Amino acid sequence: MSRKLLIGLIILGLVISLGIGGIYAYNEMGKNSLDKGLNLTDEQKEEIKGIMEDLRDKVKPVLEKIKTARDEERAVLDAETLDESKLENLINKNIGYINEIMGLREDAFVEIEKVLTPEQREKYLSSLGFLTGRYIRKREKNPAEERLRNRIRDWLLLAKKLNLTEEQKETLNELIREERVKFVKYEIRKKTGFLIKKLELTDEQKDSFIEMIKTEAENERGILKELKENAKNEKEIVSKDPLDETALRNSISTVRAKLNEVLSLRKDMYLNIVHLLTPEQRKNLPTSIFFLSPGMVR
C-alpha cells in the first residue's frame, strides 16, 4: 500500500470514527449510564429515567423516517442514471431528521440539567456531548487495545524499577509512541479499508477520494475547536444556581448551528464522492447517513 493511500485511510478513519461517528454516534435504543459518578438520589434517578424514556419514545419515529429515506436513497444510487436532484433532496431530508433529533435531545438535556445540582451539572456532559449521543452506551472493550494498554503499563512499571536515565526514558517513550501509532493504523485500516476495497477505485479515483477526505477534515477542524471552547463556557453557565435556562439554550443554539455547518460540509463531500464514481461503483457506496451519522440507524 502506498504511503499516500495509507495517510488517506488514516484521515478517513479519523473523520468517520472521531468526527462523523462522534457527532451522531448512537441512537436512543441503548441503555444510558447517566448516573455514573454523579451520585444521584433515588428521586433524581426516577425523574431522569422518565425524561430518557420520553426522549426514546419521541426519537423512535424519527429513526423510522431516516430508514425510509435511506431505502429511497439506495434506489437512487443503484439506478443507472443518477437523479442528482432527488439525491440531494433525500440528503437534505436526513439533515432535517438529524436536526429534529437534536431538538428532542436539547429539550431532554435542559430538563435533566434542571434535575441536577450545580456540582452534578459540572461533572455531566455538555450539550455537545448530549446532542451527539455520547450519553447512550458504554464504550465496548477492544481486546487489542487492552493488550496494548497492559503492555505499556508493564513497560512503565519495569522502567520505574530499573531507574532509567533520561535518555533511556526518551527511548522508551519513543517505543510507546510507535506501538500506539501501529495500533491506530491497524484499527483504522480495519474500519475503513473495506470502503476503499468495496468501491474498487482506480488509482486516479483513490487520489481524488483521499483529497476530498483531507479537505473535509481540515474544514471541520476549526468548527470542532469552536465547539470545544463553547463547551467550556457552558460549564460556567450550568455551575450557577439557579440554572439560567435562557443562557443555556443560547449555548445550545450555538452548538446546533456549528453542527449544521459540519453537516453541510459532509453533504458536499458526499455529493463529490458520488460524482467521482461510476454507476456500478455507486451501487457499493453507503448512503449519505453513513457519512452524516453512522450508527444512528442500525
Question: Which pLDDT belongs to residue 231?
Answer: 92
Please write the tens of the pLDDT for every residue from 210-257: 888 778 878 888 898 899 899 999 999 999 999 999 999 999 999 999
Least confident span in 33-47, 128-142, 158-172: 128-142
**What are the cell numbers at 150?**
497492559
The CB-side HSE value for 131 (13 A sphere, CA atoms) comes to 25
Q: Please, is 73 exposed, middle or buried when counting C-beta atoms within 10 Å of its C-beta (0-12, 13-18, 19+)?
A: buried
pTM of the model: 0.74
Question: Which pLDDT belongs to residue 2?
Answer: 52
Please write the tens of the pLDDT for every residue from 65-84: 999 999 999 999 999 999 99
Please state, in angstroms and as integers, the Cα–Cα distance from residue 202 to each residue in 56, 213, 276, 280, following that order. Answer: 43, 16, 11, 13
Residue 7: pLDDT band (50, 70, 90) is very low
CB proximity list for 261: less than 8 A, separation 6 or greater: 223
Q: Is a pLDDT exceeding 90 seen at residue 181? A: no
Q: Is a pLDDT exceeding 70 seen at residue 33? A: no
Residue 90: pLDDT band (50, 70, 90) is very high
123/133 Cα distance (integer angstroms): 17
Q: Please, is 275 exposed, middle or buried when counting C-beta atoms within 10 Å of its C-beta (0-12, 13-18, 19+)?
A: exposed
Least confident span in 133-142, 188-197, 224-233: 133-142
Mean pLDDT of 148-176: 83
